[in-house]
Amino acid sequence: MRVIMLLLAGLWLALAAPAAAQDGPGDARRLALAERYLDLTQGENLRKTFAAYFEESFAKLAVPTEQRDWLTQNVTAAFNQAMQATFADVADDVADLFSEAELEAMIAFSETPIGRSITAKSFELGVTLQTVMAPHLTSAMTQVGEKYCARFDCEAGDDASAKFGP
């Protein structure tokens, strides 16, 4: 279930609407700052979290060690590649959302020991929140589906969870 939530988080980032292209030198600087901010706050923390998660998850599989190692290495590499592409796509949005001064301040803070600690813990908290939220969201969406079918009389064999569940 945790991997599903992590995949959904990555998908959400990947599907973020692209912003307008950067035009002037100030925009180019903001874009560079946005890329730096994303790398500081998401890059390494994300890579470490996913690598550890996949290693832990695949260690539980009843397959030979060679296969577990291959899966861990290749799935982690694929996820890293997808995340790098996602960050490249979302950098424009970050540059549009934050001013140059805000990006500089966030980067300066993120480069301090306390900033790195807070960033790592915030990322970990986000993953935990998604994991804990999954059953609640499943329950809520099932209830919405049930209400929908009660209101609109779903066809036989069509259950609400198929329409609204994960």
For residues 31 and 90, membership in a common domain is answered with yes
Q: Has residue 7 been placed in a domain?
A: no
Tens of pLDDT, residue by residue over 53-80, are 888 888 888 889 999 889 989 998 998 8
Nearest to 107 by CA among 49, 44, 35: 35
Give the residue numbers spanning the domain of 35.
25-111
Q: Has residue 8 been placed in a domain?
A: no
Give the CA distances from residue 80 to residues 18, 24, 77, 153, in Å, rounded to whole numbers and listed in that order: 20, 30, 5, 44
Band (pLDDT 50/70/90 cuts) for residue 51 is confident
Q: How far apart are CA 19 and CA 13, in angstroms?
A: 13
Q: Global pTM? A: 0.60
For residues 122 and 82, membership in a common domain is answered with no
Q: Has residue 75 been placed in a domain?
A: yes
Q: Has residue 3 been placed in a domain?
A: no
For residues 94 and 157, membership in a common domain is answered with no
Q: How far apart are CA 166 and CA 156, in angstroms?
A: 20
Nearest to 6 by CA among 122, 138, 133, 131: 131
For residues 107 and 125, membership in a common domain is answered with no
For residues 78 and 145, membership in a common domain is answered with no
Q: What is the mean pLDDT of residues 26-45?
A: 88
Tens of pLDDT, residue by residue over 80-105, are 899 889 989 999 999 999 999 999 99
For residues 104 and 125, membership in a common domain is answered with no
Q: Has residue 33 been placed in a domain?
A: yes
Tens of pLDDT, residue by residue over 116-155, are 899 888 877 887 898 899 999 999 999 999 999 999 988 7
Angle at 75 between CA 70 and CA 81, to 5 degrees: 130
Nearest to 124 by CA among 41, 16, 59: 41
